[in-house]
Chain A
Amino acid sequence: MAFRRFVSHKAAVISCVILGLLTLLVIFAPFTSRYGVNESVQVPPNSFLTPRANAWLGTDDIGRDLYSRLIYGVRVSLIIGLLSALISVTIGSLVGAIAGFRGGKFDDIMMRITDLFLAFPFLVTLLIVRNVLGAIPWIKPLSGDMNSVRFIIILFSIFGWMSVARIVRGQVLSLKEREFIEAARAVGASRRFIIRQHLIPNSIGPIMVALTFSVVGAITGESTLAFFGYGPQAGDGATSLGILVGAAKGAVQTGYWWLAVFPCFTLVVISLSINFIGDALRDSTDTQLDRGL
């Protein structure tokens, strides 16, 4: 039933198709990209070439094919987005569910902490947490160096779980008041049973929505970081969508429009698609959608 409602959202379905195609393109990277990520298109002069036959989207400052780099870059960013979102949602759902279900001190403390974090300007907290994380010695073996992809994934996981926790907590709180929970309790269902059979299935909807928005948040956040030069810097010219977008700023002034337009366009398309899907998910899993006559 929810599935049927979902597919009635045309924008969401189109988004799924687009994202699906993009994912396929990106997974089969060595075959779908035309050059390596650090490979020059041709012998110099090869910098800043406009889009043409042997470089569909033009080249960058040292002659690398933008199209290929975009594919590899999107791959990195998608991985970052998906992994950090998965971790965030796992941790966040657990914490949120417990906080909502148990209430009491744990709930209070959790809410104050998340309130605090979420109230601060995003970039400020991001940068500060990034630095603090990087300065803690025992994190290093787990996360790798501050510029590694692993680190960024961990960073966004830490950020992401808090929003998810609030959403799940909210859902659990409202579920707790519903009569069917009261009824389950009245017939003697154990707490664990209630959580397993009632709370979790009814929370799947909001959790999935939270998942999609976490992915978008992470991808956009990675771009923001890269924009300021704090993005992932894996060696060998490896790149991420964020880095490519970050380079757009300079490209604007100099008029190399393809270096700005294509990465930005890709980011917007990905962001829009995931948002559409998330919105449609939210609509289709909303059990209280009867509005008006």
Chain B
Amino acid sequence: MTETILQIRNLHITFETPFGQVLAVRGVDLDVMKGEVLGVVGESGSGKSVTFLATMGLLSSRARVSGSIVLDGEELVGKSSQQMRSVRGRVMSMIFQDPLSALNPVHRIGKQISEMLQSHQEFTKKQAATRAIELLDLVGIPQPAERAMQYPHEFSGGMRQRVVIAIAIANNPKLLIADEPTTALDVTVQAQILEVIKRVQQQLGTAVVLITHDLGIIARVADRVDVMYAGRNVEQGLVDNLYDHPSHPYTRGLLRSIPQPGKERLTPIAGFPPNMISPPSGCAFRTRCEFSDEQCETTIPELIPFADLQTACLRAHELPNFTVTQ
């Protein structure tokens, strides 16, 4: 029986802005099992990044977080910044989208890894330096001893992202959150980075949350998928199941919008992303959904089991079978 390493229940996150209160996350439930790769998919504004920034405790003071986030048995919501600091980098880590700006330009690479090691474990400077080189080797950086003495701007994009990964796994965290780690990279390099993540995950047994808007990446690396829209979960399940017979119109729309050879026209999802200051009532996707009716307007759907998936569509059982071309 696999255990959960991360358990999020009823998470609500709002931001105060000059334009009003932004309801970024409106009741998210999700689990991450130990050692699995969970893909979190959604467009910009779906709340996927915010959810995990909140998990890491990296949101600004303008954010109001309520609900429960339990990491390895400990409740994170309500912890002081001091307490969070001991969790971050040790039990869980996060890597971000742009590797160049993620690294301090005036520190050597080796030092940036050593810093991670020395703040959470008992390492002398020399021990940390040695370990840093080992980590660089682990993520596939050639000539790690020399590279450790170099600066970020001397590395290529893909190399830098590997360094970022090395930093994140330095203290053997139980959870690694990767927020769009390949979006800023070339396609060929993307594949390499995903491979590094997968390898590291298998070797260290780390659970990985892979946040992305790219369904191809999910298909390649993830075990399970969580689809988010407008601050809520929309569908969850094993990768193969979700891709084969998606139950939610949004997921279907996403899968259909992938360009395919032989398909003459592209089929995007109609409509625009919702305004998160005043999202549509009931199911937020109803304004773009061809199946919406009155109940979709009045009821906010919860995740319920549907076949071998979890879905948040009130009319899931009434939808036609799914085909990719339509």
Bound-state CA distance A233–B60 (Å) is 59
Number of A-B contacts defined by CB within 8 Å? 6
| Chain B 54-75 interface 0/1 with A at a Cβ cutoff of 8 Å (1 = within) | 0000011011000000000000
- Chain B, interface SS category: loop
Give the contacts of A251-293 with B (CB-CB under 8 A).
292-293
Q: Which residues of B contact A292 (CB under 8 A)?
A: 60
Bound-state CA distance A250–B60 (Å) is 56
Q: Which residues of B contact A293 (CB under 8 A)?
A: 15, 59-60, 62-63
For the complex, count residues of B whose C-beta is within 8 A of A. Answer: 5
- Chain A, interface SS category: loop
Q: Who on chain A is nearest to B15 by CB?
A: A293
Bound-state CA distance A293–B59 (Å) is 8
Closest CB-CB distance, B53 to chain A, in whole Å?
9
Bound-state CA distance A293–B63 (Å) is 9
Q: Which residues of A contact B60 (CB under 8 A)?
A: 292-293
Q: Who on chain B is nearest to A292 by CB?
A: B60
Q: Which residues of A contact B62 (CB under 8 A)?
A: 293
Bound-state CA distance A292–B62 (Å) is 11
Q: Who on chain B is nearest to A293 by CB?
A: B60
Q: Who on chain A is nearest to B63 by CB?
A: A293
Closest CB-CB distance, B63 to chain A, in whole Å?
8
Bound-state CA distance A293–B15 (Å) is 10
Q: Which residues of A contact B15 (CB under 8 A)?
A: 293
Bound-state CA distance A40–B202 (Å) is 96
Closest CB-CB distance, A284 to chain B, in whole Å?
14
Q: Which residues of A contact B59 (CB under 8 A)?
A: 293
Closest CB-CB distance, B287 to chain A, in whole Å?
27
Closest CB-CB distance, A290 to chain B, in whole Å?
12
Closest CB-CB distance, B214 to chain A, in whole Å?
23
Closest CB-CB distance, B50 to chain A, in whole Å?
10
Closest CB-CB distance, B13 to chain A, in whole Å?
12
Closest CB-CB distance, A178 to chain B, in whole Å?
19
Bound-state CA distance A98–B59 (Å) is 45
Closest CB-CB distance, B144 to chain A, in whole Å?
35
Closest CB-CB distance, B59 to chain A, in whole Å?
7
Bound-state CA distance A293–B61 (Å) is 9
Closest CB-CB distance, B149 to chain A, in whole Å?
33
Q: Which residues of A contact B63 (CB under 8 A)?
A: 293
Bound-state CA distance A195–B15 (Å) is 41
Closest CB-CB distance, A288 to chain B, in whole Å?
16
Bound-state CA distance A292–B63 (Å) is 13
Q: Who on chain A is nearest to B61 by CB?
A: A293
Bound-state CA distance A34–B60 (Å) is 59
Bound-state CA distance A40–B303 (Å) is 91
Closest CB-CB distance, A9 to chain B, in whole Å?
15
Bound-state CA distance A293–B14 (Å) is 13
Bound-state CA distance A293–B24 (Å) is 13
Closest CB-CB distance, A195 to chain B, in whole Å?
33
Q: Who on chain A is nearest to B58 by CB?
A: A293
Q: Who on chain A is nearest to B62 by CB?
A: A293
Bound-state CA distance A292–B59 (Å) is 11
Closest CB-CB distance, A123 to chain B, in whole Å?
38
Closest CB-CB distance, B105 to chain A, in whole Å?
19
Bound-state CA distance A293–B54 (Å) is 13
Give the contacts of A206-256 with B (CB-CB under 8 A).
none
Closest CB-CB distance, A120 to chain B, in whole Å?
33
Bound-state CA distance A290–B62 (Å) is 15
Closest CB-CB distance, B25 to chain A, in whole Å?
14
Q: Who on chain A is nearest to B17 by CB?
A: A293
Bound-state CA distance A293–B60 (Å) is 7
Give the contacts of B14-71 with A (CB-CB under 8 A).
15, 59-60, 62-63
Bound-state CA distance A292–B15 (Å) is 13
Closest CB-CB distance, B273 to chain A, in whole Å?
19
Bound-state CA distance A293–B16 (Å) is 11
Closest CB-CB distance, B111 to chain A, in whole Å?
26
Bound-state CA distance A6–B59 (Å) is 29
Bound-state CA distance A293–B62 (Å) is 8
Closest CB-CB distance, B61 to chain A, in whole Å?
9
| Chain A 51-82 interface 0/1 with B at a Cβ cutoff of 8 Å (1 = within) | 00000000000000000000000000000000
Q: Who on chain A is nearest to B60 by CB?
A: A293
Closest CB-CB distance, A166 to chain B, in whole Å?
26
Bound-state CA distance A292–B60 (Å) is 9
Bound-state CA distance A272–B238 (Å) is 65
Bound-state CA distance A293–B58 (Å) is 10
Bound-state CA distance A292–B61 (Å) is 11
Q: List 6 A-B pairs, Cβ < 8 Å.
A: A292-B60, A293-B15, A293-B59, A293-B60, A293-B62, A293-B63
Sort A-B residue pairs by CB-CB distance and give the 3 closest, nearest first: A293-B60, A293-B62, A292-B60
